[in-house]
Amino acid sequence: MTPGPYPLTFSVPLVKLCKGRWTPGFEDLLDYGVNQGWYDSENTLENLVFHWVFIPWLQAELDSYRNRINLCSKQSDKNKVLPHGVPSHIEKSPESYGAVDFGIEVEARYINTIAETFAPSDHPVFQLVPPSFAEMIGAFYITLESPTITRSNVWDIYLALLEKFRACEDTISSDTMQAWNQNCSLARDSNWGQDDFEKIEGEPLIDVAGYLGGVNGGAGPAYSDNDEQDSTLSEADEEYIHEEPEIQIVFDSDDDAGE
């Protein structure tokens, strides 16, 4: 089930951990509602209500998971050439871990220019839902007393809001519904924007031989004669010093633990 191109953002190193620990529990939760017949991505109202309820909630859950992982130290592994320690601490002070910061500062004005040129903030794809829909669902949410969205009630809130739209569906103008349909079609189009911008031509990256990392002050990993010079990560790399039987994330007193 693909909600659309709206970004659920996380750093690349978390992908493997997310697939094994974070994703399964939430996939089960989403599949439950789909299997109950509560959500059909081809239905405009169900699609938009789903976007408004689930995407911000899932992003908040993912952000919390990311913060937990980035503040948890990994078990040391001699086969790992990257610095050992708490990821957030390494990022803030790489020199304290025998590493080199290769970050290049870029003035915000340049980044803003590129963003507005190739990913303008007013492009419809960056709208979670159309403004007219957002206004209506926001008012409906207030009538529900603005409940905190948790794992245990997210489908209940979705169904309650969907019922309010169905109760007044006949009062929604055809022009408004057509605009909402177009928004959903855009969300389902994986090729959006390809005709809006010119292709950027550039020189290929220069192929430079040798070690280009930051380990050991930029000199690269130092091996002894007895060490196996194998870049394969050991299984211990996935285990953490603060290990628990399974990762649990609690966002409020009513929320169940994520897996």
DSSP 147-163: PPP-TTTHHHHHHHHHH
The contacts of residue 41 (CB under 8 Å, 6+ apart) are 1, 2, 3, 47, 50, 188
> Residue 84's pLDDT is what?
80
Higher pLDDT, 201 or 130: 130
Residue 148 maps to a domain: yes
Return the H-helix or E-strand segment holding 258: none
CB-side exposure of 106: number of CA atoms within 13 Å? 8
The residue behind tokens 């929604």 is 172
Q: Is the pLDDT of residue 249 over 60?
A: no
Structure tokens at 89: 């601490």
Distance CA 68, CA 10 (A): 13
Higher pLDDT, 156 or 21: 156
The contacts of residue 217 (CB under 8 Å, 6+ apart) are 98, 99, 100
Distance CA 32, CA 151 (A): 12
> Tell me: the pLDDT tens digits for 47-100?
999 999 999 999 998 888 888 888 888 777 777 777 888 888 888 888 888 888
Please give the tally of structural domains in the chain.
1
Residue 34 maps to a domain: yes
pTM: 0.63
First to last CA, the chain: 19
Distance CA 45, CA 123 (A): 21
Distance CA 69, CA 88 (A): 9
Q: How confident is the model at residue 199 (pLDDT cuts 50, 70, 90)?
A: low
DSSP 72-101: SPBPP-TT--SPPS-HHHHHH-GGGGT---
Residue 220 maps to a domain: no
> Tell me: the pLDDT tens digits for 207-240?
555 555 555 555 655 544 444 444 343 444 444 3
Q: Phi and psi for 74 in degrees, rounded to 5?
A: -85, 155
The average confidence (pLDDT) of the chain is 74
Average pLDDT over residues 201-207: 54
Neighbours of 29 (CB within 10 A): 18
Contact 221, 215 (CB under 8 A): yes
Share of the chain above pLDDT 90, in %: 34
> Tell me: the pLDDT tens digits for 150-184?
999 999 999 999 999 999 999 999 999 999 988 88
Q: Please name the amino acid found at residue 104.
A: I
Residue 48 maps to a domain: yes
Q: What domain range includes position 169?
A: 12-191+232-238
Residue 1 maps to a domain: no
> Residue 1's pLDDT is what?
37
Q: How confident is the model at residue 138 (pLDDT cuts 50, 70, 90)?
A: very high
Residue 168 maps to a domain: yes
Residue 157 maps to a domain: yes
Helical packing angle, 23-35 and 154-167, nearest 10°:
40
Residue closest to 78 by CA, chosen among 230, 254, 209: 230
> Residue 242's pLDDT is what?
39
Residue 214 maps to a domain: no
